[in-house]
C-alpha cells in the first residue's frame, strides 16, 4: 500500500475506484470506465452507482468533467496542481501531489483523507475498516456531566469511592450514563449475558474479532461512552492498531489476567506488543496511545500467604506498569473467608498507589449487600463495580457511610473480636 501526500481541501474521507483523466493534444478526456466497475455493472452487483475518485494533473480539468460522468458518482479528486481554496460540495480533494500521474496506476481502490491531505493507494482491510468507522460519523463525544447524580460518591468521612457500571450492550451504556456511573466496565462476550438492560443485542465488544474488525466496535463504544473512562478485560487478544487509535480518543484501561509464569506477569510482555503496534501507527501517521494496563484477579479462598510474598507480588505488578487491580469472585467464595487476604492485598496495593476495585451485587433491600459493602470499604477497596441500575442506590448509600468505622470493624473482626 502506497501513501501520497498533498494538501487537503475541505474535510472528511472518501473511498472509491481511481479513474484517470488524461490529455490528448492538451485537451482533457473523460476517464474510461475502470475494468472492475465494468464487471460490476455487467453483473448488476451494485444497487447504487459506483463511487470513483478522479486522478488528474490539473484540478480544473476534473472540475470541468466531473458533471459529465453519468456511470458513477465522483466522491473525490486527486490532482498534481494545487486546487483553489473553494471547496466543492460533496467532493473531497487532495491536490499538490508531486509526480501523481507517474505514480498512479489505473483501476485501484483509493482512500482519500481530505482532512490530512493523504491518499492511500490500494488500502488493506484494516484501513478500509477505519475509513468506514469515520465515514459513518463515529467520533467520540465529550460530554460534561454536571447533574447531581454524576457527582462522585463521597463518604461521610470525605473518602471518594469510584462507582463503575458493568456494560455489555449499547442500552447498558445509556442506562449507566443516566445513572451517573463514574466509569464503564465493558464485558466481552460472544453470547447474550443476563442481568443487563437488553440482553440479546449484539455485544458492544465481541470476543474473537480479527484486528481489522475492531475499528468499528471500538469507535462505537467510544462514541457511546461520551468521555467516561473504559475498563476492558483483555485475554491478551486486543492488541492492535485499532486499540491504540481508540486509546488516543478515550481513557482505556486493559485488565489482564496475571501470568505468574512470566517475568513481567504478562504486563511487561503485553506492553512490548503494544509498543510494536504504536510504531505501526506512527508509520501510518495515525494518532495513537498505549492504553493503561491493570490486573484482574479471580478471588479464591486462600491459604496462608506470607506478607513477604504478597509484598513481592504487588511490587512486581507496580514495577511492570499496573495502574489498578480488579477483583472477581468465583461461585462459592465469600468475603468472610478471604477477608484477611483481601485486607493485606488492599493495604499493600495502597502502598504502591494501586487502587483496588471489587465487583458487588448491591441490593439496597438486602442486609447482606450492606454488610458486604461495608466489608469492602473496611478492607480498603476504593472502587465498586455494579450493574447500571444499581449505580444510583449505591452512590446514595456510600454518602452515608463512614469508611473509618468500617475499617475499625474489619480490624476487630480479623482480630477475632467480632462475629
Name the helix (H) or strand (E) containing 60.
helix 59-66
The domain 2-123: what is its CATH number? 3.50.30.10
pLDDT at 357: 95
Q: Outline which parts of the chain fall under CATH 3.50.30.10.
A: 2-123
Q: Outline which parts of the chain fall under CATH 3.20.20.60.
A: 148-414
pLDDT at 192: 44
Element counts in the chain: helices (H) and strands (E)? 13, 19
pLDDT at 195: 47
- The rounded radius of gyration (Å) of the Cα atoms in the chain is 28
Number of Cβ within 10 Å of residue 124's Cβ equals: 11
Distance separating alpha carbons of residues 292 and 47, to the nearest angstrom: 44
119 and 113 Cβ atoms separated by less than 8 Å: yes
Q: Right CATH number for 148-414 from 3.20.20.60, 3.40.1640.10, 3.30.2130.10, 3.40.718.10?
A: 3.20.20.60
Distance separating alpha carbons of residues 131 and 134, to the nearest angstrom: 5
What grid cell was written down for 232? 476492558
pLDDT at 301: 47
Name the phi and psi angles at 308, rounded to 5. Answer: -65, -40
Name the helix (H) or strand (E) containing 275.
helix 267-283
- What are the residue ranges of helices labelled H in 301-402? 307-319, 335-351, 367-379, 391-398
pLDDT mean for each 10 residues of the chain (419 residues): 83 88 90 88 68 93 91 93 77 91 88 86 74 52 62 90 93 92 87 48 81 86 89 92 90 93 94 92 85 87 68 92 86 67 90 92 85 92 94 94 94 75
Choose among 264, 166, 146, 277: nearest CA to 211.
277
Q: How many CA atoms lie within 13 A of 130 on its CB side?
A: 23
Name the helix (H) or strand (E) containing 46.
none
Q: Give strand pairing partners of 24.
A: 27
Amino acid at each position: 500500500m502506497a501513501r501520497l501526500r498533498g494538501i487537503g481541501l475541505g474535510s472528511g474521507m472518501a473511498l472509491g475506484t481511481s479513474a484517470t483523466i488524461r490529455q490528448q493534444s492538451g485537451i482533457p478526456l473523460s476517464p474510461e470506465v475502470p475494468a472492475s466497475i465494468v464487471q460490476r455493472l455487467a453483473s448488476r452487483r451494485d444497487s447504487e452507482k459506483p463511487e470513483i475518485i478522479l486522478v488528474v494533473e490539473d484540478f480544473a480539468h476534473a472540475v470541468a468533467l466531473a458533471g459529465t460522468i453519468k456511470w458513477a458518482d465522483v466522491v473525490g479528486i486527486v490532482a498534481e496542481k494545487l486546487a483553489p481554496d473553494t471547496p466543492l460540495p460533496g467532493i473531497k480533494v487532495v491536490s499538490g501531489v508531486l509526480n501523481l500521474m507517474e505514480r498512479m496506476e489505473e483501476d485501484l481502490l483509493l482512500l482519500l483523507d481530505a482532512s490530512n491531505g493523504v491518499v492511500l493507494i490500494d488500502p488493506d482491510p484494516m484501513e478500509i475498516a477505519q475509513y468506514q468507522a469515520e465515514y459513518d460519523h463515529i467520533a467520540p463525544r465529550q460530554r460534561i456531566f454536571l447533574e447531581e447524580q454524576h457527582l462522585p460518591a463521597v463518604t461521610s468521612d470525605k473518602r471518594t469511592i469510584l462507582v463503575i457500571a458493568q456494560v455489555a450492550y449499547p442500552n447498558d451504556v445509556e442506562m449507566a450514563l443516566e445513572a451517573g456511573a463514574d466509569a464503564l466496565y465493558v464485558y466481552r462476550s460472544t453470547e447474550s449475558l443476563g442481568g443487563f438492560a437488553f440482553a440479546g443485542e449484539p455485544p458492544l465488544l465481541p470476543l474473537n474479532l480479527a484486528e481489522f474488525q475492531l475499528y468499528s466496535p471500538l469507535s462505537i463504544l467510544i462514541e457511546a461512552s461520551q468521555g467516561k473512562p473504559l475498563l476492558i478485560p483483555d485475554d491478551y487478544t486486543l492488541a492492535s492498531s485499532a486499540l491504540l487509535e481508540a486509546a488516543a480518543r478515550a481513557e482505556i484501561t486493559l485488565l489482564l489476567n496475571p501470568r505468574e509464569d512470566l517475568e513481567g506477569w504478562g504486563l511487561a510482555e503485553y506492553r512490548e506488543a503494544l509498543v510494536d503496534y504504536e510504531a505501526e501507527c506512527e508509520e501510518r501517521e495515525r494518532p495513537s496511545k498505549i492504553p493503561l494496563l491493570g490486573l484482574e484477579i479471580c478471588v479464591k479462598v486462600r491459604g496462608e500467604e506470607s506478607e513477604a510474598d504478597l509484598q513481592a507480588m504487588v511490587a512486581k505488578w507496580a514495577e511492570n506498569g499496573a495502574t489498578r487491580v480488579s477483583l472477581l469472585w468465583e461461585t462459592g467464595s465469600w468475603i468472610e473467608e478471604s477477608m484477611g487476604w483481601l485486607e493485606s492485598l488492599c493495604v499493600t496495593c495502597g502502598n504502591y498507589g494501586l487502587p483496588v476495585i471489587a465487583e458487588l451485587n448491591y441490593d439496597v433491600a438486602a442486609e447482606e449487600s450492606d454488610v458486604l459493602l461495608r466489608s469492602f470499604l473496611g478492607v480498603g477497596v476504593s472502587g465498586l463495580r455494579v450493574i447500571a441500575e444499581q449505580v444510583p442506590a449505591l452512590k446514595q448509600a456510600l454518602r452515608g457511610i463512614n469508611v473509618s468505622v468500617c475499617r475499625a470493624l474489619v480490624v476487630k473482626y480479623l482480630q477475632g473480636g467480632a462475629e
